[in-house]
Structure 1
Amino acid sequence: MSLAPRAVLVHRTTEYEELLVRHGTHGHAEFFLRGHGQSLTEVFERHRRTKRALAEVAAAVPLTWRRARVERADLDRFLFAPEDVVVVVGQDGLVANAAKYLAAQPVVGFDTEPGRNPGVLVRHRAAQAAALIPAALSPRTAVEELTMVEAVTDDAQRLVALNEVYVGQPGHQTARYALAAQPAPAGRPHNRTDPHQPDGADECPVEHQASSGVVVGTGTGATGWLRSLWQERGGTLPLPRPDDRRLAWFVREAWASPATGTSRVEGVLAAGDRLRLTVESDRLVAFGDGMETDALQLSRGQTVRLGVSDTSLRLLG
């Protein structure tokens, strides 16, 4: 007998709950904010709206389904199963936070604060949950395949992200590395399971750089951090759409010196292309979508390759 579907509700701690952790009680939090010219009223009302939406969505899960809940901070310790339907209740960023831990499970996002969130990824209202959650398993339901970016190290560590991957110093100080943009090998794509696959690296121009790090992002990420970097450069590079099988990359604040250059600071990666960074600092990290606590640790001499992932996010439209 096959297992019943499981609805996994993904949520995050509210600002009000974080204030209670810091200050202990509602009264102490209110006193602190009032002393700094702010009010707790709006924060508390947003907390109530979020909890009301979460309860409404949870109540809409079919009675025959299994269910689980996971908070954002625990995503890296939660085991998603193939039969799961991932139900994100919160902000757009919460979908991206969950995406890196998934493997083709359908995702449906519910906006807890319509009008405050852009609603790019959390596209639905809690009142629609009773119809949308069961529909996630129907082959007739429209599902959008959103491109993801991956980082693979030469010792086979791997992470994926929906918006962008950052490679640099964990404290955002100066990172030193050698950078090369590698086209896909002629006639075949890169094999991400074999980081030592020959890829024509010797034919790719290499530039030694010192910068605030490198950001490689998708069309979904082109509405956030990637767009900010793009605008700083004058907006000439063609940014991808969310379903495009290509990425854009930018070097942050590259520093020119006798040993480091600034001639390769942006570009586009098609499917199969890779951006290769070889670490020349004592330590760098690579993390996706702002999840700094779940990062790849990179030592001097290690190489990381970034490109379009084989994994996509399956998001209900």
Structure 2
Amino acid sequence: MSLAPRAVLVHRTTEYEELLARHGTHGQAAFFLSSRGRSIDEVARRHDRTRRALTEVAAAVPLQWRGSRVERADLDRFLFAPEDVVVVVGQDGLVANAAKYLSGQPVVGIDTDPGRNPGVLVRHRPADAAALLRTAVAPGGAVEELTMVEAVADDTQRLLALNEIYLGPPGHQTARYRLGPDNAATAAEAQASSGVLVGTGTGATGWLRSLWLERGGVPELPAPSDPRLLWFVREAWPSPATGTSRVAGALGPGQGLRLTVESDRIVVFGDGMESDALELTWGQTVRLGIAATSLRLIT
């Protein structure tokens, strides 16, 4: 007998909750904000909207389903199951935060603050949750497969990301490494830079786009579902020992970018989650390319 689906509601602590945790009471938090020219009223209203959205979405889960909740800070410790339907209640970035821990489970994005959020990944309102949950488990449901990027180290460590993966120094030092395509026919180039960014079409509205614009808008940005990645080296430094001839490119299916560390430490993290990073040291190699897993976003 198969298990009933489990609706997993993913959310994050609101700004109001963070203020209360830091200052103790509503009045003390209000005083703190007012001393900096801000009002707590709008912060509290956004908190109320988020709580109402969570309550409405939870009420929409079918009675025969199981349910669970996970806060963003606990995602790296939460065990997602194959029968889960993941309901992200919050901002676009929260979908990306959850995506790296999934393995094909359908995802529903619920916008808690329409007009304030872009709504690229959280496309729906809380009132739509019941219909979206039915769609998520229905055969042939409307699903958009969003391309993801992966990094796989030579010690089998693996990292997934929906927007982009960054490789670079943990502070403001210079990263030293060798960079080249994932084949033996082309020699890798020794480089010194502030890091390397490899991104998807979903990430083409953020960090990846800023680097793309700096390089004159080439190559063409991929769409979120395109099986193509772009990569850029940030601030490559030319010297007698390091080059700058390989600072941007695209990766298609089966293609990879290989980086070999030539400094004490390089960190690899995805979608801004620095707290859940891979750490590589001298001589280690990491390959970057299109992930076999995609994000299945209910449309």
**TM-score bracket, shorter-length normalisation:** over 0.9
Match of residue 194, structure 2, among 190, 194, 212: 212
Partner of 2:257: 275
Task: Give the 5 Å matches for 1:1-317.
Answer: 1-182=1-182, 200-201=183-184, 203-317=185-299
Q: What amino acid maps onto 1:219 in structure 2?
A: G
CA-CA distance at 1:205 after TM superposition:
2.9
CA distance in 1, matches of 2:150, 2:18: 32
> Structure 2: any 5+ residue segments left out of the alignment?
none
Decide whether the 8 Å contact of 1:180 with 1:275 is kept in 2: yes
| Amino acid in the other structure paired with 2:122 | V
Query: What is the identity, as a one-letter code, of the residue corresponding to 1:47?
Result: H
TM-score normalised by length of structure 2: 0.98
CA distance in 2, matches of 1:23, 1:171: 30
CA–CA separation in structure 1 for the residues paired with 2:233 and 2:28: 44
TM-score for both structures, normalised by structure 1: 0.92
8 Å CA contact 2:135, 2:142 repeated in 1: no
State the shift of 1:298 in Å: 0.3
Distance 1:273 1:156 in 2: 19
For residue 311 of structure 1, give the secondary structure of its aligned residue in structure 2. coil
Give the CA deviation at 1:89.
Answer: 0.3
Q: C-alpha separation between the residues in 2 aligned to 1:239 and 1:74?
A: 33
Q: Output the CA distance in 1 between the equivalents of 2:279 and 2:261.
A: 11
Shift of 1:140: 3.0
172-181 or 237-246, which moves further after superposition?
Answer: 172-181
Q: Partner letter of residue 218 of structure 1? A: T
| CA displacement at 1:145 relative to structure 2 | 0.6
How far apart, CA to CA, are the structure 2 residues paired with 1:145 and 1:130?
21
Give per-residue Cα distances to partners, 1:200-256, cap 9 Å, x unaligned.
32x213111111110100000111110011111121211111111110001111112
The separation in 2 between residues aligned to 1:51 and 1:109, in whole angstroms, is 16
Deviation at 1:181, TM superposition (A): 2.0
Secondary structure of 2:147's counterpart equals strand
- In structure 2, what residue type is equivalent to 1:76? D
In 1: Cα distance, 2:69 partner to 2:259 partner: 37
User: Does structure 2 retain, via aligned residues, the 8 Å contact 1:11–1:70?
Assistant: yes
Superimposed CA distance per residue, residues 46-87 of structure 1 (whole angstroms, 9 cap, x where no aligned partner): 111111111111110001100000000000000000000000
Match of 1:189 in 2: none
Which blocks of at least 5 consecutive residues in structure 1 are unaligned?
A: 183-199
Q: Contact 2:229–2:289 (CA<8 Å) still a contact in 1?
A: yes
Shift of 1:27: 1.1
* Aligned residues of 1:216 and 1:248 also touching (Cα < 8 A): yes
Kept after mapping to 2: 8 A contact 1:175/1:210: yes
Which AA in structure 2 matches 1:264?
R
